[in-house]
């Protein structure tokens, strides 16, 4: 696993591991590094098959195999406990770890995540798969921002959209990897196990998320015994990118 260490290296400094969504890149968290690393040691990493980490997602490994990658980093760094911030797919990893190793995660932040995929998200995945299968990688990548960002954000940042599209095509993680990761998202289901997760949890969700209905975060808030919900009107699926200042402050207040 390729990972980067940022911020406070002092002995005893608390560590946060950040895990991105379907894209799998540690670079996704660039808007958070400066704010979080002032007080914490921050770990970002590229998921298996993504960015600078090689290999492929195991065919039937699911979310558990991806969560094991996180634990391998934590074990390698000799972290008995750590905070965890997961965006969408990354948030599912947090729930898996919290169930299998209670207490390993000190506090967790789940961004537009779910305990069980909504049929609407399934429809979005169907569209993306069809684009990949029938129209190819450029069409799949071109559609990606529609599921991440509000329309006004895309309209006001055309150069950013073009740069992200070019980068995503140049560093595409591979068709097999994407399909296996989407399959893992769809198969994940801990909806009946939420009461067993006592980890202090901050849920961040947005009403304008096109990919994941905010009702999924409402369900997490209902089922998790120690959860707080921060529901925003604006920000889209990638709210940590579209509104980083407010996002970072909300996270820092929770972790503090």
Calculated CA dihedral for residues 219, 82, 239, 162, nearest 10 degrees: -130
Q: What is the C-alpha to C-alpha distance for residues 107 and 149, in angstroms, rounded to an integer?
A: 27
Domains detected in the chain: 3-255 (3.40.50.1820)
The alpha carbon of 1 is separated from its chain's Cα centroid by a whole number of angstroms, namely 17
Q: What is the per-residue pLDDT for 12? A: 80
Evaluate whether 172 touches 139 at the Cβ level (below 8 Å).
no
Residue 56 has pLDDT above 90, yes or no: no
- Of residues 56 and 203, the one with the higher pLDDT is 203
Question: In 3D, which of 26, 67, 31, 22 has the Cα closest to residue 247?
Answer: 31
Q: Which residues pair with 15 in a beta bridge?
A: 41
Q: What is the mean pLDDT of residues 12-37?
A: 95
According to the model, what pLDDT value does residue 120 have?
98
Residues 6+ apart with CB under 8 A from 206: 112, 214, 231, 232, 233, 234, 235, 236, 237, 239
State the pLDDT at residue 77.
Answer: 94
Kindly provide the b/e burial profile for residues 214-244, where b requires at least 16 CB atoms within 10 angstroms of the residue's own CB: bebbebbbebbeebebbebeebbbbbbbbbb
Distance CA 140, CA 132 (A): 5
pTM comes to 0.96
Q: How confident is the model at residue 8 (pLDDT cuts 50, 70, 90)?
A: confident
Closest CA to 141 of 169, 177, 183: 169
């Amino acid at each position: 696993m390729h990972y980067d260490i940022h911020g406070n290296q002092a002995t005893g400094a608390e560590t946060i591991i950040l895990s991105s969504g379907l894209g799998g890149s540690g670079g996704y968290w660039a808007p958070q590094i400066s704010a979080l690393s002032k007080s914490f040691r921050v770990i970002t990493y590229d998921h298996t098959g993504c960015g600078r980490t090689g290999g492929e997602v195991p065919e039937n490994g699911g979310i558990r195999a991806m969560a094991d990658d996180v634990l391998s980093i934590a074990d390698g760094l000799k972290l008995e406990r750590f905070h965890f911030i997961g965006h969408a797919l990354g948030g599912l990893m947090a729930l898996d770890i919290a169930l299998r190793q209670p207490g390993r995660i000190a506090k967790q932040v789940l961004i537009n995540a779910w305990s069980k995929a909504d049929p609407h998200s399934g429809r979005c995945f169907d569209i993306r798969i069809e684009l990949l299968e029938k129209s190819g990688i450029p069409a799949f990548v071109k559609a990606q921002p529609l599921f991440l960002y509000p329309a006004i954000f895309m309209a006001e940042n055309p150069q950013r959209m073009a740069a992200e599209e070019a980068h995503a095509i140049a560093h595409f993680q591979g068709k097999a990897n994407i399909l296996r990761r989407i399959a893992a998202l769809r198969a994940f289901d801990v909806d009946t196990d939420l009461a067993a997760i006592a980890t202090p949890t901050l849920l961040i969700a947005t009403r304008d998320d096109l990919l994941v209905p905010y009702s999924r975060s409402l369900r997490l808030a209902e089922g998790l015994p120690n959860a707080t919900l921060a529901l925003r009107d604006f920000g889209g699926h990638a709210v940590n990118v579209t509104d980083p200042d407010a996002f970072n402050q909300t996270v820092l207040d929770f972790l503090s």
